[in-house]
Amino acid sequence: MKNYKLLIQYDGTNYSGWQIQRNADTVQQKISDSLRTILREEVNLIGSGRTDAGVHAIGQIANFRSEQNIDLYRFKHSLNSVLPSDISIIKIEEVDELFHSRFDAKKRNYLYLISKIKSPFYNRYSYFYHNEIQCEKLNILSKVLIRKADFSSFSRKDSDTENKICNIYNVGWKELKELIIFRIEADRFLHGMVRTVIGTLLNAVKNNFDENYIEDIIMKTDREAAGEAVPAKGLFLMKVKY
């Protein structure tokens, strides 16, 4: 049995997230259907993690196993030719049979884009934020999040994940002309966590709250304590590290 690893990019605008769902278009479903069409066999496509509805990916990783000996160059071309234009396979390679794209992942890196201006060119992939953004203060507040802790306060209430412990390694804000770029890296993320973290930090700056505000939210482990999540369209899964 051979094991194949995919590097995937997608525009999540038209999808209900990565994970296959009943009566919904998802990225995993589209790729699985395309693999089945080409290989003419049932394929179990395993993603590194699920992205929410409307979230994009520049570095999603997935793997599948097959008895077939695949010509990687031709197969990538064939797969891209049957996939919709908003999903692309950037790279495919054969990996160790034991490789698992989800369980072997050590770190996941997300990026969020905020636009300081209303622009038709930024609208699809960024959040136009009307209030002033102070990156220096946001970076100070963000340092409170760098820890291993229960991040239930930043997870959606309907999440079915029992273990809410995450280890955040790095968080940062940077200004680049008309855009504000937010980056966060952790071993794992809860459902809706990144967007809620961003919304909470922006709310803290807007209301001139200090680090104790963020600390208190973490300690409460209650979603009601955190701020409103920002829109999905500005969020990108950038990289998965193994």
Please tell me the distance from the alpha carbon of residue 106 to that of residue 104, in angstroms, as a whole number.
6
Please tell me the distance from the alpha carbon of residue 101 to that of residue 31, in angstroms, as a whole number.
15
Contacts of 3 by beta carbon, 8 Å cutoff, 6+ apart: 63, 64, 65, 94, 95, 96, 97, 98, 99
Inter-CA distances, 226 with 103, 126, 218, Å: 29, 22, 8
Active site residue 52: yes
For the four alpha carbons of 187, 193, 195 and 199, in that order, the dihedral sign comes to negative
In the set 33, 52, 160, 222, the catalytic residue is 52
Catalytic residues: 52
